[in-house]
Every structure is written in C-alpha cells, then in structure tokens.
Amino acid sequence: MQILSPVLDGYLTHASWIRRMFEAGIELKRTHGADNVYDFSLGNPDLPPPPAVKQALQEIVDRLDRPMALGYMPNAGYPEVRERLAAHLAKEQNSALRADHVVLTCGAAGAINALFRAVLTAGDEIVCPAPYFVEYGFYAGNFGGVLKPALSKPLSFELDLEAIAAALTERTRVVIINSPNNPTGVVYDAEPLRQLAALLERHTRKIGRPVYLVSDEPYRFLTYDGVKVPPILPLYPFSIVIGSFSKNLSLAGERVGYLAAAPTMEGVERLIAGVIMTNRILGFVNAPAIGQRLLAAALGNEVDVGIYRERRDAMAGVLTAAGIRYALPRGAFYFFPQAPDGVDDKTFVDRLMTHRVLGVPGSGFGYPGFFRLAFCTDKRVIERSLEGFRKAVAG
C-alpha cells in the first residue's frame, strides 16, 4: 500500500544525516549519561539571547492588555518592523534598501521556500557550491527544482568559479551561496564574489531571463580574526539576501527571518509582490508576532561572539592534537575536517560514535571524505572529547 508519494518515500529513506546523528546522540546520552557524550552533530545555538531580548519580551507582556497586541499583520510583516529592518540592512549591505524591498518570513528556510515558489518552474536548476546546507535539495524539490552542486576547491572550500560556470545551463534559475558557510566555516571574499556576479550577468544575457544570486546569511555576524562578510546586493542587480535571527539573537525556535532584494533589480516590485503572495499561500502567513516585536527591539544586538571564538580555538587544538587535517573556520560555528587517510567519512563517523563523539559525514553535505563538527557547545565538552578523537584516528 502506497502511503506516501514516491518522492517523500525517497526522502525518508535518505533522511538527513544530521538528524540521524542527533537521534543517535539521544540514545548514547541515555545509556552513558549526557556528560560522557561529546555531541557535535546539530548546529543548535546554546548561548542565551542578549539582554535586549529579555527587556523587549517584558515590554511585550506589559502591552498585552491592548487590543490586537498580537493580532494579524500584513503578509510582509509589521510595517514598522520592515522599516527598521530595511534601515539596518541598508547599512549592512551598502544598498539603498527600503521597507518595500524586504519581507519578513518564518526563518531563512521560509524565505528560501517562498522565493523558490515565486520564481521556479518545474525542471529549473539551482546551482550551489558543495559542500552545502543539506536542506537546499529539499527546498528546490518542493517546487520541481533540481539542485546542481558545484564542488568547491579542496580543503580551502573557496568558490571554484570554473565548476560553477560548468554547472550553468539554460535551465539555471538560481545560484545560492551560504557565507559564512555551513558546514565549512568559509567566508567568501569580495573578489571571487565580483567574478561570480560578472559570470551570472553574462549568463543572464545569454539565456534571456534572470539568474538570481541568493546569499543565505544567517551567520553573517559570526566571523573571527577581523574577517568581514562582503555585501552582495551592490555586486549584481538580480541579487537577494536571506537571513534570520536564530543565531545572532539566539531565537532559533522563534523562526524569524527575512528576504531582501536589490533595489536596482529590474522588476523588483513584482518579485517582492510574488514573495509576499507565496509567503501567504504556502501556509507560513507571517513570521511570529512576538518574534517580529523582539527583532524590532533588539536589532543591532547580538550574542557574545568571543565565546564562539574560544570554542573554535579549543576545537582546533583538539583536532590538531588528534592528528586530523582541517581548514580553520573564518566564520559560523562549524569545522569540516578531513577523514584520516584511507578511511571514508561514514566509516570514520561510525568510529567516532563508538567513542561517544558525534559528528556528521560530509557525504550528507555533498562532499565525501570530510565530516562536520558543530562547536556550539560548552568549551569543556570540546576539551574532554580529545581522547575519543585520538582513539577514532587510531582505529
């Protein structure tokens, strides 16, 4: 009896490695105790929200006796929140953004799905550098799109523009990048981004319809060693920025994100109107009312990046001591190290698990031979994991 569609049956058969390892971690913690399991499987930000969020929440509570305090709002979000966010993003993106260029969404995932619903026709292709965030393929498939990964440069994970150019076809509709990147921690520099923009301008002229450049930026705030994330909107007229406040305000469960389109884009009003429509008809309707109010009050605040930097350095020390090769992350809270010589990534992750260390195989991110570690966990957990890494490397 066919309970699900063949597509969903396939999704369940090849379920996300991240979730598999997270669930395996629950069982290990039940058996050995949470303090004896070193779980780097899930990128779940653990820092408390900045004080501005708590203050804003109290102010929301104090206003709950007013009519429509948490009522319906326009499908693009509360107008005053859009205005504040647009002003904030205008500085961040060095672009003349207005409120009518911005849509509030149910997290970055909601923004990507709303955009794909608005611009994709069945069979259209979405090109992205690999390794990539595992959900991109599902988001594309939701609307008949096809994800086409283009391998990044080995170990450095910088953009391989030749590989991206080779992946472009007349069906290409979107190129999506993620910087700082999940799972590698790489931050793309301005010059390769300019070259990518020039490549897409040529391809847009060639095929006669826009190829959208989408920059997925939920980790924009989280960089190390003075690294800056270049603004994408000034580089290319058909560019779109997507982000959320899950990490910088530690509001992951509140699901507040946004889409902002380049003001210079031809037809930008039509694109935004389409995204507002899909934001509604997909059932998201709006980002949560409380989350929007919190965002408006706390915009410009963020969690303590210094804590993540200490954790990054602690993880680098553990991997170095265990003899594992890696590229030092320039942003986000992930390492993407190389599995030891002669060992495939899935086998090595299984070895780690026998020593109660949880990572995720790189195969799940479209890049075999490597594995992901999320270091958004207590520094003491990172330091205590060293022996498990050493034993896994020894075999």
pLDDT in tens, the chain (395 residues): 788 888 887 777 666 666 677 777 778 778 877 778 899 988 888 899 999 999 999 998 888 888 887 888 999 999 999 999 999 999 999 999 999 999 999 999 999 999 999 999 999 999 999 999 989 999 999 999 999 999 999 989 999 999 999 999 999 999 999 999 999 999 999 999 999 999 999 999 999 999 999 999 999 999 999 999 999 999 999 999 999 999 998 989 899 999 999 999 999 999 999 999 999 999 988 899 999 999 999 999 999 999 999 999 999 999 999 999 999 999 999 999 999 988 999 999 999 999 999 999 999 899 999 999 999 999 999 999 999 999 999 98
Beta bridge partners of 130: 151
pLDDT on residue 71: 84
Q: pTM for this one?
A: 0.95
Q: What is the second-level CATH architecture of the domain 6-49+304-394?
A: Alpha-Beta Complex (3.90)
Q: How far is it, in rounded angstroms, from Cα 263 to Cα 97?
A: 6
pLDDT on residue 18: 67
What CATH class does 53-298 carry?
alpha beta
Q: Show me where the domains of the chain are located.
A: 6-49+304-394, 53-298
Q: Where are the alpha helices (DSSP H) in the chain?
A: 6-13, 17-32, 51-62, 79-93, 107-119, 135-141, 161-167, 190-207, 268-281, 289-298, 305-322, 345-354, 379-384, 386-394
Q: How far is it, in rounded angstroms, from Cα 265 to Cα 78?
A: 24
